[in-house]
Amino acid sequence: MKKDIYGVYGASGFGREVMPVVRAQLESSGVSADRVVFIDDNPGEGFVNGHQIVCFHDFMEIDARNRYVSIAIASGEIREELARKCIDSGAIPLNVIAQNVISMDDVEIGEGAILSPFVTITSNVKIGKNFHANIYSYVAHDCVIGDFVTFAPAVRCNGNVVIEDHAYIGTGAIIKQGRPGKPLVIGRGAVIGMGAVVTKDVPPGLTVVGNPARPLQRG
């Protein structure tokens, strides 16, 4: 009988952090670690941390019943391209949720999410496709998060916040709580810098830094 095969797309930094979480998640269901591989467009070394590295074409050629993929790439734009390629090829999105993640009441999370260790999602939260929440991040009550949003480590997203598609929230950033009926909004493709404290809406595509967060001045 054919067995399923599982891939972590991306064998560099974040992928190597995600792999142990995937392995633990699958081993708890009786899946052997040798059924889990790295997928990388530039395979290079044959193995990393005990797992084979294969290109996407070779992954799809492995004899298997089903193929599941977790995309461990920080860029939301690249993640969207790879997600489309995987789905078009028949691969199934894999949600990766660390064993110590806390998820409370009425939480909806889209396909392809990665929730790293020590992440907390509180109550009445809606999250779109391919969300990344790195270690020690949290999402508080009544937040709505779009597709391909990335939280770096230790992001603190307080209640009544809307984060639109492809936003990137840097390490240690704090997002002030909005109000019922008037959420704080971070626009599509906005970038919140490391350690920034966001106290008001951020327009789409804007990069903000500092405390309080202000537009990044380039020059």
| pLDDT tens string 153-195 | 999 999 999 999 999 999 999 999 999 999 999 999 999 999 9
What are the tens digits of pLDDT across the range 52-104?
Answer: 999 999 999 999 999 999 999 999 999 999 999 999 999 999 999 999 999 99
141: annotated active-site residue: yes
The string of pLDDT tens digits covering residues 106-126 is 999 999 999 999 999 999 999
The CATH number of 5-94, from 3.40.50.300, 3.40.50.2000, 3.40.50.20, 3.40.30.10, is: 3.40.50.20
User: Could you tell me the two tokens for 179?
Assistant: 């109000």
pTM as predicted: 0.95
Q: Where are the domains of the chain?
A: 5-94, 97-211
Beta strands in 10-131 (DSSP E): 36-39, 47-48, 51-54, 67-71, 92-93, 96-97, 102-103, 107-109, 114-115, 120-121, 125-127
Catalytic residue among 51, 57, 141, 166: 141
Amino acid identity, position 129: K
User: Among 2.160.10.10, 3.40.50.720, 3.30.1490.190, 3.30.2130.10, what is the CATH number of 97-211?
Assistant: 2.160.10.10
Contact criterion met (CB below 8 Å) for 40 and 82? no
